[in-house]
Structure formats: C-alpha cells, structure tokens
Chain A
Amino acid sequence: MAEKEYILFDKDTQAFIYNMQTNAVQRMLDFDYVSGRKTPSVAAVINPTGSDSLQKFFFGPKEILVPVYKSMKNAASRHKNVDVMINFASFRSAAASTEEAFTIPQIRTVVIIAEGVPERRMRELAAKAKQLNKIIIGPATVGGIVAGAFKIGNTGGTIENIMDSKLHRPGSVGFVSKSGGLSNEAYNIVSQNTDGLYEGIAIGGDRYPGSTLLDHLLRFEKNPEIKMLVCLGEVGGSDEYTIVDALKKKQITKPLVMWVTGTCSKAFKTEVQFGHAGAKAGSDSETADAKNAALKAAGAVVPSSFDDYGEKIGLVYKELVKKKIIIPKQEPPVLKMPMDYNTAIKAKLVRRPANFISTISDDRGEELIYGNMLISEVFKKDIGIGGVLSILWFKKLLPDYATKFIEMAIMVTADHGPAVSGAHNTIVATRAGKDLISSLVSGMLTIGPRFGGAIDGAAQMFSEAYDVGKTPNQFVEDMKVKAVNIQGIGHLIKSLHNPDMRVTIISDYAKKHFKSTPLLDYAREVEKITTSKRDNLILNVDGCIGICFVDLLRSELTKQEADEYIKMGALNGLFVLGRSIGLIGHYLDQKRLKQGLYRHPWDDIAYMLPEK
C-alpha cells in the first residue's frame, strides 16, 4: 500500500477488480511477472452476480488462485492492504458501485472504466471523492500504468507492446492524457525519446472526469522520481486553463511538454463532436489553438504540431540529462514471458499429438457435420434415422434398402411388453421414484446373454458355423454335443404353424431387397432340422434380425469389416437402441399412472430357509 500521498500505485499495491474480467486480470498479472513483482497486483475479484469462489490465473509460468467475492465489504475485510478498486461495472451501475467503494475506508483510489456515466452523477461523485479525500480515475478510460510497478486493467495493450515501450521498468516521465486509446501511442513516443515512462494516466474523455489533467500533473510534480511532465490535452472544456494557471503560479516547475489536440476543428463549418464526450468546442477559449497558445505563453513546451511532439519531448529530456537531473539507468535483465499455448498454436510455433481422435462428426464449424455430410444436407436428402445411424456407426451412408432395414430392426425391437426383464426392471425402478436415466439404465443393464443378447449371439454362432463350412446338420449336432442352446432358435409360444409375424416381415424384406442372403438361407435350413424335433424351435425374431444383419453388412462392407463390427457388438447396439424407446415408454407410462413403490408379494416367494 502506497504511503506517500502523491503515490497512488507502487510495486506493492494490490487492487480489487470489480466484475469478472478474466482477460484484464490476466493482463495485469502478466505485467506483474515481467516487472518482477513478488505479489500479484490483483488481490481479489468482486463479482456481485456470482458467488464466493477461487479463480485460476497464470503468474508467469505458474498458476495461482485468485479469490472471488460476491460482496465488496467481505473482500475488504479479508484483504486489508488493498486500497485500489478497478471498477469494470457498466455505465448503469458504475456510479453505485463507486459509491459503495467510498464507504470502505481502506479504498483510496477507484478507477471507472465504463463510458457513458451520466455527467451529473459523475460531478456528484467527484465532489464526494474530494470531501472523502479519495481519488477517481475515469470514467471512460483504459486506466493508467506505473512502469514496472502496477498496471490498471487493459492499459498498455499486449505484453509485446509493454516490452517494446519499456513499460516493465521505470523511467523519468510522468504522462497524462484524456484519451486512453492514444496512451499506447504516447508511451511509445515517450520510450523512443526519453529513458521511458514513470507513470502514465488516462483520465478519460468525459466532460467531467473524476480527476483532472492538473490533479495528476500536481502529483507528478511532487514525486521526486518524475523529472519531466508530458501531457496531451483536447479541444473542449477548460481544464487545460487550470494547467496554465498552475504554470503561472509556479505550482508546476518541472518541464512540461504539452499538446492540445483538435486544432483541425476550424476546418469544420458546423460544430463537430469528436470521439470523446468532452471534445467539443463551445466557445473560442475551448478551441485547441487557444489552449495551445495559452500553454505556450505560460511556459509549457508546445510543439507546432503533433508531428514534432516526440522531438520536443526528446529535446527536453536531453537537456535534463545534460544538467544531470536525469541520470540514465542501466536496463534491468528482461524476464521472458511464457507464450500462451493458443497464441503459439496460432503462430504455428508448437505442435502436440492429440489425446482424442474423432472420425465420425465435427461440431466446430458453421454447421454440424455427420461423417462428411452437413446437418442441413442430412435433412435435404432425407436419409432418416437409418441413414444417420449408418454414417455414425459404419462411417458410410448405406443404400436406401439397408437404412430402411435398420429402421425396421429398431421398430421391431422397440418394445416387447412389460413382462420381459428390461421393461420389468425399468418399471420397478420407476416406481421406486428414480429418474428417467436411472430407470432406463436399470432396464438396460439386464441386456446380455439371456435377454436381448440373442441378436448378437445368433449372428456370431451362425456366421461362425457357416464360415467354417459346417453343414446345418453338423452345426445342430455339434451344439447338441456341447449341450449349448442355439441362439436365435426357439420361441415360447410361436411355432412353425403359428409363425411370428415379426420374423415373417423381416425375412420377407431381406429376401426381396438384399443382394444375397446366404446366412439367412443357412439358418432356414437349420430351422428345418430343429423344428423337426420340436414345433416351437423356430428361427425367432432376435435370430432373424441378427442373421439378416450379417448378410446386410457382408454385402455392403468387406467381410473383414463386417465381422469386426459384429465382434465389437454393433448388433447389441441395435437392440439397446431399439429397446430404449420401449423402456422410456414404460418409464413415462408408470409416471403418468402415478404408480407407487412396488413390493413383491410374499405369497409369490417361496421362503425355504434351513430349519432351526
């Protein structure tokens, strides 16, 4: 915390940032690092719309945590050393938050960044600040900087510019301007013509800034480290005349190089409002020409145009060096700022192997892409859910007959009544008050070798037998020897004489549209043998879907690819996808019916405990 009245910011100053401004905070911390500060200049962020938390930032190559507080009072009580608040509130609330900061005794300086704070409110605040012995910088400013010590928010631009303009170490020049946008340019001019900036403040372009050009020049006058003053004024208002008076009264004795911009206003026939609210000449004395003349007459060094502003600054500096008032210091060693990864990537300076690969979809561009198809095209070509599935699962838009088949498989497997394991579990979970996802998953977890897994099992079993060249007879015999049920064969009720309509639909479709159906034909031969033993040992719906799917994949992909997909469990996927429609249906049904907790009846359980 600065002790001397003329010092607002030094190497130990810590500030609160009002409103979450992560970029500004990071830029301040970057400056801190290259300036060799030991502590970060941001003590905490006050985020009135958030909650208390910690936020991660870089401090050079390391990462640090900066506390975030909802309440200003709370922040102040925890960080007693903080005496600066950088207020990023909007023009609507900047005045209120500044007033709040005034109620906290330890806060001495408030910087208001917003543009568009009403003038009357600002004049009230300025008067209050004076009364409370507090200082306002702004509004409508980028802030200011004490070279090598403390940087307000976004002042000074990028870290490259800060280094180029030597703002990471102190020089001998005190600079003050209205314009924040031009302050970068001014720091560059100062660094090229002198030993550099000591402190620079942009008071902001409003008609009634919280502190004036003169306020800061008088501070610089008192600061023994500052040897010369540079100021940039502006057409409009009369603040520059207070500087004229101070020069006349010898309140300013250090050499002052000053230029008032807006000399071009005489070229305009009607009144012109330049970029800044205050930049409008209401009378002859407010013109830039009149101000420049008055300043020159009062002893300021005034160039003949902005063109030789730098030159004049250089001349004054050289004079001070000659008089040994300024003794140029040695350049301190430069701390290298680590480059941000994103910047380095953009500049093609680094590369790194990715941790993830995706080959099926991309959400980064203007439009979502499935495979190589824009989402708009997906709808234009009307490829249906089967088409989308074929792109995302098999990386290929399969022909219409195939995508239609996929959709049929989903439709057929969508549900099988409430009694089967999956639906039952979902219903029980739903009635226990669980949410949709828990209830769905509860049913889904029953899918495996005994329930729903037959699609996958049949596909594997039949294709294995077929591929090694077993005759249907050999296959049935082998399974009998191994005492393994043939997956996809057999139904509880349906039989040869009472066929399952689902099987008929699927297999008729396959026979009609598929290029060839060798495995389905093989399965039908197997079925002939098994049904000769018992009438209900038919090819069931799971078996039929699984086997047809193998025929489909084998005719559209290479055999190797098709087998890979089957091995990966793609067919289980088909069942899971289809059945989740039904499971969600059962969940909604139970909720809709407001069914209470399910308890299995005692009489349905055979209690057979060992006797005592």
Chain B
Amino acid sequence: MAQKAIREADGKRMIARLLKDYTNGKYTIDDTFVTVGPDTDLKTLPATYKWLTKEKLVVKPDQLIKRRGKSKLLLLNADWNDAEKWIKERMSKPVTVGTVTGILDHFIVEPFIPHNETDEYYLAILSERDGDQILFHHQGGINVGDIDAKAARMKIPIGTYPTAGDIEKQLLANVPKERRSLIVGFIEGMFKFYADLNYTYLEINPFVVSNNRIFPLDLAAKLDDTAEFVSGKKWGGITFPSPFGRILSKEEAYIAELDSKTGASLKLTIINPEGRVWTMVAGGGASVIYADTITDLGFMSEMANYGEYSGDPNEEFTYLYARTILDLMTRKKNPKGKFLLIGGGIANFTDVANTFKGIVRALKEYKEKLRENNVKIYVRRGGPNYKEGLRVMRELGEQLGVPIEVYGPETHMTKIVSMALKGGK
C-alpha cells in the first residue's frame, strides 16, 4: 500500500495507449517494443513482431535497475541475431549492480531510434506534499550528469495544471524555438497523464525529437497502488515487480503465501541465516523498533531476520509462522547459543493469550531442537489478557526445559533486546 515501481514496458505501453487522450489526439507514441521473460520463445518471436528482423534494436533488462547504461546492461544498435545472443547470455543469470546481486529475467527489446545527442531531452515529474514538480533539461541520456543541479524546475500546486505558456517560459528557455511547441504540448499532456493516472514518479531520460515526433527512449515510473480502485482499469493488467535483487528464499516465499491467505499480516525477511538473534514481533511498528534496537546496540551482524505478525492471525497461522522461524534458527548450531525475541508493544484489542497459543504449540514441537541449539527465549508483550498469556509462557519454560524470560508492560518494550544481548557480545 504505497508508491510502487512499475516496469518500463508497462509505463511505455500506458503512454502509447493513453497519451492521445490527454492531448486531444495530437500525440501518438509508438508501442513497438516487446518484453522477453524466462519463458519467451525467442525463436518464434520475429514471426510475431516483424520489425525485429527489419530494424536495428535496443535491448536492456526491465527489472527496476537504475543506470543500466553505466552497468553495461544496455545493447544498442544491434540486429536480431546479436540481440537474441545477448539476451540468451544473460537470461536467468546473476548480475551485480552496485552492491545488489539479482537474477536477470525480464528484458525489453525496441527499435533503435537513430538520433543526435542534441535531440535528447530530460523530463521528470515528481510529487511532493504541496504539489508536483516538473524537471526538464535540454540535454538528456546516460551522460546527463547531476540533473538535480542542472534541470529547470516548475512547481505545480496540487489541484492545478500548468499552462502551455508557463511551460515554455519556465522550462524550455534552452530549446530551439522551432521545437518548443512540440515539446510544450508533450509536457502538458504528460502532466495530465501523470496526475490523472495517479503516478507518483515518472522519469523519461531521454526522450528524443526526430522528424517532428517524440520517442521516449528510457523510462522509470512509480504508481500509487492505493489508487488502484480509481485508475486500475486505465493502468491495464500491470504487476508490481519486487525490487531488483530481492529473491525470496523458500521460507520467505512460504510466509508471503500465508500472508496472502489471511486478512492478518505475516512478514518474514531473512537477513543473515547464520545470525544468532531471531525475532518474532507482533505489530508493524514494534517489529521495526526491535530490529532498530538490535542494530543500535551493535548487533547488526548477528540479526538473523526481520519478522512481524499482526492483525490478529488465527492460531493455525501463528503456529505455521512460528514453526518456520524455529526451523530456520535451529538448523545450524552455534557454540555461543542463540536468542529468540518474542516481542511486541501493548496490543489494542487483540487477546494476547490467544495469539500466543500458536507460538506455544510450535515451541513445544521444537523443544528438543531448541535445547540442542542452546536457545534462550525472551518474551515481552502487553494488552488485553496479557497476564494470562505471560503466565502460559512462563510455565512453558519450565515444562520445556528451555530458558524463557517473560516481561509485561512494566518493562520497556525493547529492554529484552539488551537483556538478551548484554552478555552476548
């Protein structure tokens, strides 16, 4: 529920389909491009898209990767044989961009538009609290440099639209006169497109002017996914891909699947499976603070996971969630032992004793492994019926022969982090 990045192909497809509606039919943008995924049959592709073998092509991955040109993830002016080879060499292979390593699995192939550097322009629209901002620069492309410093800016107060005159005056001072009206109309239409379709970010770098037409070459965009109920139909059947490099482990995918089956929330991110500190925290806000505190106390390298459950999941779901974490944390022994933090703030209306039931079941099932791995458990929680919940946890410790320390709202929420880690460093 927030701003979500979309694929370049989806953004371009939307412009090609809809920009004419926002410009009284004056601007038509080509949608000659094709998306290649892991299951695309490259052999039969030219039969469907005749232009692939007739024109020179541009190929690049379409996976929310920034600065593809700089990372050598861009093939320019190639024929189809080269393009096919280039894709095959990279498809389903890992690549490192900056510090992030991910698998390449989506490419976009387009006709190469021959042009001069002087035909390239930079356009971005972004949203701020009081309005939107249009950034324009009369140069564009991969070598545009520090655009924040160079670009001409125009602020559009929320609820208003820029006039053609203002666009020309405020943004296009460095554009040759004969091209101005074409670009003004384009920017005017793109802004309407941006606002009406609930975009929150849109960058076209560059777009090219050639033969009195506009070609967006490279695009990055974000949509406000909460506006799906308003703009979803116009968006078409788009998906929001995960950030590049986020490859879900089997367990993360399993929890994501559980999460999708319940109205409650179950989240798991494994940070370091060898880490000694595992968390299972109730509440979105509280879970972040527990992870913060582990980091702030200097144990970032020991933090094994980020995890939260909230929205009152039923016993079965909490059990499955807890079991997944217990399984992960007891796979490999560490001579220094491990910690499990079952934390949480003061619940509003969730019955604490009830939500503990599933966790208790999982702990019982894993008692042998917990003992073998020398796991120490810390519990902190408040809210309706918390005393009963904490009593059950306390008794469970004696029953299982696993050390469990239990605290309520009288103890500061994150105190169990320092209690656990104090002797651990």
A residues engaging B (CB < 8 A)? Answer: 91-92, 115-121, 123-124, 126-128, 142, 154, 157-158, 160-161, 164, 179, 181-182, 184-185, 188-189, 192, 207-208, 235, 261-264, 266-280, 288, 304-307, 309-310
| B384: A residues at CB distance < 8 A | 157-158, 160-161
B346, A127: Cβ atoms under 8 Å? no
A2–chain B nearest beta-carbon distance, Å: 26
How many angstroms between the C-alpha atoms of A273 and B1 in the bound complex? Answer: 9
| A115: B residues at CB distance < 8 A | 1
B346, A274: Cβ atoms under 8 Å? no
Interface residue SS majority, chain B: mixed
B418's partner among A120, A128, A307 (CB-CB below 8 A) is: A307
Known pairs A181-B283, A304-B296, A307-B296; A268 contacts B269 (CB<8 A): yes
B294, A264: Cβ atoms under 8 Å? yes
| B227: A residues at CB distance < 8 A | 118-121
Q: Tell me which of B300-308, B314-322, B398-406 binds A.
A: B300-308
A307, B297: Cβ atoms under 8 Å? yes
| A305: B residues at CB distance < 8 A | 292-293, 296-297, 414
A280, B412: Cβ atoms under 8 Å? no
How many angstroms between the C-alpha atoms of A262 and B294 in the bound complex? Answer: 11
Mark interface residues in B155-187 (1 if CB within 8 Å of A CB, else 0). Answer: 001110000000000000000000000000000
Number of interface residues of B (CB under 8 A): 62
Closest to B388 in A: A347
A182, B159: Cβ atoms under 8 Å? no
A116, B1: Cβ atoms under 8 Å? yes
Known pairs A119-B227, A264-B303, A275-B285; A184 contacts B296 (CB<8 A): no
A261, B283: Cβ atoms under 8 Å? no
| B297: A residues at CB distance < 8 A | 305, 307
| A275: B residues at CB distance < 8 A | 265, 284-285, 287-288, 308, 310
How many angstroms between the C-alpha atoms of A271 and B245 in the bound complex? Answer: 10
B292's partner among A119, A127, A263 (CB-CB below 8 A) is: A263
Report if B2 contacts A (CB, 8 A): yes
How many angstroms between the C-alpha atoms of A181 and B415 in the bound complex? Answer: 19
| B345: A residues at CB distance < 8 A | 181-182, 184-185
B226, A274: Cβ atoms under 8 Å? no
Report if B143 contacts A (CB, 8 A): no
A261, B292: Cβ atoms under 8 Å? yes
B2, A277: Cβ atoms under 8 Å? yes
B224, A120: Cβ atoms under 8 Å? yes
A157, B289: Cβ atoms under 8 Å? no
Known pairs A262-B288, A270-B100; A277 contacts B412 (CB<8 A): no
How many angstroms between the C-alpha atoms of A142 and B245 in the bound complex? Answer: 35
B residues engaging A (CB < 8 A)? Answer: 1-3, 99-100, 127, 129-131, 157-159, 195, 198, 200, 224, 226-227, 229-230, 243-246, 265, 269, 271, 283-289, 291-297, 300, 303, 306, 308, 310, 345-349, 382-384, 409-410, 412-415, 417-418
| A124: B residues at CB distance < 8 A | 158-159
How many angstroms between the C-alpha atoms of A117 and B228 in the bound complex? Answer: 10
A146–chain B nearest beta-carbon distance, Å: 18
A552–chain B nearest beta-carbon distance, Å: 50
B295, A267: Cβ atoms under 8 Å? yes
| B349: A residues at CB distance < 8 A | 154, 157-158
B300's partner among A142, A192, A267, A272 (CB-CB below 8 A) is: A267
How many angstroms between the C-alpha atoms of A126 and B157 in the bound complex? Answer: 12
Known pairs A157-B347, A157-B348; A118 contacts B198 (CB<8 A): yes
| A160: B residues at CB distance < 8 A | 384
B254–chain A nearest beta-carbon distance, Å: 19
- Please name 14 pairs of A and B residues whose Cβ atoms are closer than 8 Å in the assembled complex, sorted by A: A121-B227, A124-B159, A126-B129, A127-B157, A182-B285, A184-B345, A207-B2, A261-B289, A264-B291, A267-B291, A269-B100, A272-B306, A305-B292, A306-B289
| A126: B residues at CB distance < 8 A | 129, 158
